[in-house]
Amino acid sequence: MTDVVTAPNLDKPDEFYARLLAAHEGLSKAESDAFNARLILLMANRIGDLNELDALMEAAKRK
């Protein structure tokens, strides 16, 4: 199984979060949900490894 990095790993996490919020501005709930789904699929495609994606989904389920 792939090790999942859960420690902060973004160069500028606050900047990323601000940009993510800005990308949602003006979207309805349905549009925002669709945006999130498309973004997740693009990121999954970028990662490309099914084992890595499985590990990330399991990590995301944990609280």
For 1-41, write each residue's pLDDT tens digit.
578 988 999 999 999 999 999 999 999 999 999 999 999 99
- Per-residue confidence (pLDDT) for residue 1, from 0 to 100: 56
Q: Is residue 51 pLDDT above 80, yes or no?
A: yes
Rounded distance between C-alpha atoms, residue 10 and residue 14, angstroms: 9
- Per-residue confidence (pLDDT) for residue 3, from 0 to 100: 86
Q: Is residue 49 pLDDT above 90, yes or no?
A: yes
Q: Which residues contact 32 (CB under 8 A, 6 or more apart)?
A: 24
pTM value is 0.84
Q: Spell out the SS3 assignment of 25-57.
A: CCCCHHHHHHHHHHHHHHHHHHHCCHHHHHHHH
> Residue 44 is encoded by which pair of tokens?
């999954």
